[in-house]
A and B are shown apart, each in its own frame.
Chain A
Amino acid sequence: MIIARHRSATLILVLAFAQGCTTLGPVPAAESNEAAGVPGPTSSNPTTSSTADSRRSASARASRLGSIQDTTQLMLAQARTDRVAGRLDSAESTIERALRIEPNNPLLWIELGEIKLASGDRAQARTMGRRAMSLSGGDAAIENSARRLINL
Chain B
Amino acid sequence: MKRFPKLGRLFGFTILGAMLGAVLFGLYLGWQVTREFAERGWDTPARVYAAPLELYPGRQLQPANVAAALEHLGYTRIANADSPGSYSVTRQMLDLTSRAFMGPNGLRPASFFRIEFDASGIRTISDESNTPLAIAVLDPMLIGSIFPDHGEDRIVLSPDEVPTLLIEGLKAVEDRRFDNHFGVDIRGIARAAWVNIRSGSLEQGASTLTQQLIRSYYLDTERTWSRKIREAFMSVALELQKDKDEIAHAYVNEVYLGQDGARAIHGFGLAARYYFGRPLGELQVHQLAMLIGQVRGPSFYDPRRNPQRAKNRRDLILSQMAAFGLIDSQTHDAAVQMALDLAPTNTNGGYYAGFLDLVRRQLREDYEADSLESKGLRVFTTIDPQIQAVAEAAVHDQLEALQAARPRLDAAVIVTTPQNAEVKALVGGRQPGFNRALDAHRQVGSLIKPAVYLAALESLDISLASLIEDGPIDVKLEDGSVWSPSNFEGVGNGEVTIARALAESLNMATVRLGMLAGVGHVAELIARLGLDATPSAFPSLLLGAIDLTPFEVAGIYNTLASGGFREPLRAVRAVVDADGQILQHYRIEIEQAAQPDAVYALNRALVQVMQRGTGRTAQRRLPAGLTTAGKTGTSDDLRDSWFAGFSNDHLVVAWVGNDANESIGLTGSAGAARIWSDILADLETRAFAPPTPSGVADIWIDYNTGLATDSDCANAALLGISTRDIPPPARRCGSERVRFGSRIRRLFDGSSK
Contact = CB atoms under 8 A, between A and B. Distances in A.
Nearest to B599: A134
Given A47-B718, A48-B698, A127 B592 contact: yes
Nearest to B596: A134
A136 B135 contact: no
B588 A103 contact: no
Contacts of B226: none
A51 B691 contact: yes
Given A47-B698, A99-B420, A6 B134 contact: yes
Interface in A92-122: 92-93, 96-97, 99-101, 103-104, 106, 112
Contacts of A66: 57-58, 118, 122-124
Contacts of B585: 89, 92-93
Interface residues of A, number: 55
B460 interface: no
User: Which of A17, A18, A131: most chain B CB closer than 10 A?
Assistant: A131
Contacts of B596: 130, 133-134
Contacts of A7: 131-132
B747 interface: no
Given A71-B134, A93-B105, A131 B692 contact: no
B137 A3 contact: yes
A6 B132 contact: yes
Interface string A1-34: 1111111100000100111100000000000000
A17 B105 contact: yes
A74 B56 CA distance: 11
Contacts of B694: 136, 138, 143
B587 A68 contact: no
Contacts of A14: 131
B692 A51 contact: yes
B417 to A, nearest CB: 7
Contact of B691 (A2, A20, A92, A137): A137
A71 B588 contact: no
A103 B693 contact: no
A71 B135 contact: yes
Nearest to B689: A45
Interface in B682-706: 686-687, 689-694, 697-698
Contacts of B590: 124, 127-128, 131
A117 B106 CA distance: 26
A75 interface: yes
B352 interface: no
B56 A71 contact: yes
B735 to A, nearest CB: 22
User: Which of A7, A8, A127: most chain B CB closer than 10 A?
Assistant: A127
Interface in A120-148: 124, 127-128, 130-131, 133-138, 143
Q: Which DSSP category, helix, strand, loop or mixed, fits chain B's interface?
A: loop
Contacts of A71: 56-58, 134-135
B271 to A, nearest CB: 29
A13 to B, nearest CB: 8
A65 B134 CA distance: 10
Given A2-B127, A5-B134, A143-B694, A68 B58 contact: yes
B24 to A, nearest CB: 55
A114 B239 CA distance: 59
Given A45-B689, A47-B689, A92 B132 contact: no
B136 A1 contact: yes
A49 interface: yes
Contacts of A18: 105-108
Interface residues of B, number: 55
A14 B588 CA distance: 27
A59 interface: no
Contact of A103 (B104, B420, B718): B420
Interface in A29-67: 42, 44-49, 51, 65-67
B133 interface: yes
Contacts of A45: 687, 689
Contact of A5 (B108, B131, B698): B131
Interface in B96-131: 98, 103-108, 111, 118, 122-124, 127, 131
Given A1-B103, A42-B691, A75 B134 contact: yes
A127 to B, nearest CB: 5
Contacts of A143: 694
Contact of B588 (A99, A133, A134, A136): A99
Contact of B56 (A51, A68, A127): A68
A139 B563 CA distance: 18
A20 B583 CA distance: 12
Interface string B392-431: 0000000000000000000000000111100000000000
A3 B133 contact: yes
B124 A100 contact: no
B551 interface: no
B418 to A, nearest CB: 8
A8 B698 contact: no
A136 B123 CA distance: 28
28 contacts: A1-B137, A2-B111, A3-B134, A5-B127, A5-B134, A14-B131, A44-B689, A45-B687, A46-B691, A49-B697, A68-B56, A68-B59, A70-B134, A71-B57, A71-B135, A75-B134, A92-B587, A96-B420, A103-B649, A104-B648, A124-B589, A124-B590, A133-B596, A133-B693, A134-B600, A135-B690, A135-B691, A137-B692
Interface of A: 1-8, 14, 17-20, 42, 44-49, 51, 65-71, 74-75, 89-90, 92-93, 96-97, 99-101, 103-104, 106, 112, 124, 127-128, 130-131, 133-138, 143
| Top 10 A-B residue pairs of the complex, sorted by shortest distance between their CB atoms | A68-B58, A103-B419, A134-B596, A137-B691, A4-B134, A66-B57, A1-B108, A67-B58, A74-B134, A71-B56
Given A7-B132, A67-B57, A127-B565, 15 more contacts: A1-B137, A44-B689, A45-B689, A65-B132, A68-B58, A69-B58, A74-B134, A75-B134, A75-B135, A92-B585, A93-B104, A127-B591, A131-B563, A135-B691, A138-B694
